[in-house]
Chains A and B, each alone.
Chain A
Amino acid sequence: MSFDIRDDRRYRETHEWARPNGAVRVGITDFAQDELGDVVFVELPEAGDELTAGDEFGVIESIKAVSDLYAPVSGEVVAVNEELFDAPELVNEDPFGDGWMLKLDPADEGEFDDLLSPAAYRDQTE
């Protein structure tokens, strides 16, 4: 099975992605949503919360499993994807797009260098 991995973002070992584009968008990868199966519940922080890279920022539940979500980079939460509360299946359907979770105002752009490149993340999932 091969999974979609996008070149326009970087990855954490725990299967979150971060895409720098002004504010940083954060979500989970195609590989992660496939491992979880049908997502039924997402718990996210509130706008204004401050996250440090590596913090647990929320929880994602599928029918069969509960997983913690980890912040790929530090920053202030400027928006959360509230559509996921009513339509958590968006994480399965479009993990890199409509299934995004957070927008962060990054505290330190240098932290991106600590994340995995698309190629390194691909190696990890194969």
Chain B
Amino acid sequence: MALRTPPLRELHAERGAKFTEFGGWDMPVEFDGIRVEHEAVRSAAGLFDVSHMGEIEVSGADATALMNRLTTNDVAALAPGDAQYSAITNEAGEMIDDTVVYLLPDGETYLFVPNAGGDDAVFERWTDHRDEWGLDAVVENATEEYAMFALQGPDAVATAADLADAPLAELGRFSVREASVDGVGCLVARTGYTGEDGVEFLLPTTDAPTVWETLSDAEPEGATVQPCGLGARDTLRIEAGFLLSGQDFDVESDPRTPFEADIGFAVDLDTEFVGRDALAAQREAGVEEQFTGFRLTERGVPRHGYDIVNTENRVVGEVTSGTMSPTLDEPIGMGYIPVEYADPGTNLRVVVRGNQKNARVQTLPFYEP
């Protein structure tokens, strides 16, 4: 299978990036080292090329109905220029993907962002259900037409505001507006995946080099904007306690509901979506397992797939994501464990290459600015 390449593959390579395969895309994993990039985002500003994220646009008379039947949150609550976090579930209420849904400033077009490699399947899901239900909606997979950049960190919004022709500092959290950078019309949203304040830019692929260079050449407060790869994106989102689709849930290998994943805030049971009845029943009965954070209290690094055991040596769960936290300088991880172990302070162990390491449950996120 040929890897999909982001529009700036060559530019990143010249800048010294290392690459990795992710979701079928050949993406920069690091530019100057994960720790350096991570610290730049926590202290100043970092710039990520996230053009591997999908973009699906939905418009037409029944666009709202179609979106509400296929996502767990209520898109009817969105005013033009609003965004919301949501999940895409099957009949069993298990997550196929998580996403951010934007109602664009025109008030007519929904744009949502499925995870890397998920755009084709989600596009088919939308068109199949539209046809099955006889809805009047135009669905377009615009993944190849959009580049997406994330500028994140305490200096990110001010930096973006300096470069754009619109007052981006006034843009609310989870809001989106049009703005141009260097004459290039962009959608700019105050969203991100790092736990820091920041903005994300959606722009035509053909203009990607211009905008990337303008953003990366900015000098907020005399500092520089650090280009960042997927490595730092991962350590940042783990510290923030955010889920990674395909790793912290996977409809094939580790199916999980939004309630198990602790994103119940993205579920509106008053709307009629696929999976709604199963989730209503689970809300009533309560979950048996819960997505939970923990820290190792001894040396070692928890990683995806490692067993979590209780103090009687019984396996009670698996690590879904883990890392050495660059900010806290401590090993942190997340995974699903039975609710009776999920209270903060509970002692558990993680099996690292056959050795049990003490761990303590803690509330997510691990880090908040």
Query: Would you call B129 an interface residue if the criterion is a C-beta within 8 Å of the partner chain's C-beta atoms?
Result: no
Residue B241 at the chain A interface, CB threshold 8 Å:
no
Q: How far is the CB of B34 from chain A (nearest CB, A)?
A: 5
**Chain A interface size, under 10 / 10 to 19 / 20 to 34 / 35 or more:** 10 to 19
Q: How far is the CA of A62 from the CA of B35 in the complex (A)?
A: 10
Is residue B71 within 8 Å, beta carbon to beta carbon, of the partner chain? no
Is B303 an interface position by the 8 A CB rule?
Answer: yes
B353 in contact with A63 (CB, 8 Å): no
Does B324 have its Cβ within 8 Å of any Cβ on chain A? yes
Q: B33 touching A38 by the CB < 8 A rule?
A: yes
Interface residue B16 (Cβ < 8 Å from any Cβ of A): yes
Given A40-B324, A41-B324, A61 and B29 touching (CB < 8 A)? Answer: no
Are A63 and B16 in touch, CB under 8 angstroms? no
A63 to B235, CA, bound (A): 8
Interface size class of B (residues with CB under 8 A): 10 to 19
Assess whether A107 is interfacial by the CB under 8 Å rule.
Answer: no
| Residues in B neighbouring A59, C-beta threshold 8 A | 353
Q: Which of A1, A38, A61, A62 is most buried by chain B, counting CB atoms within 10 A of its CB?
A: A38
Chain B residues within an 8 Å CB radius of A66: 301, 303
Residue of B nearest to A35 (CB): B18
Contacts A63-B34, A63-B326, A64-B30 known; 16 new A-B pairs at CB < 8 A: A1-B16, A37-B30, A37-B34, A37-B231, A38-B34, A40-B301, A59-B353, A61-B301, A61-B324, A62-B34, A63-B35, A64-B29, A64-B34, A64-B231, A64-B234, A66-B301
7 A–B contact pairs at CB < 8 A? A1-B16, A37-B34, A38-B34, A38-B35, A41-B300, A63-B231, A66-B301
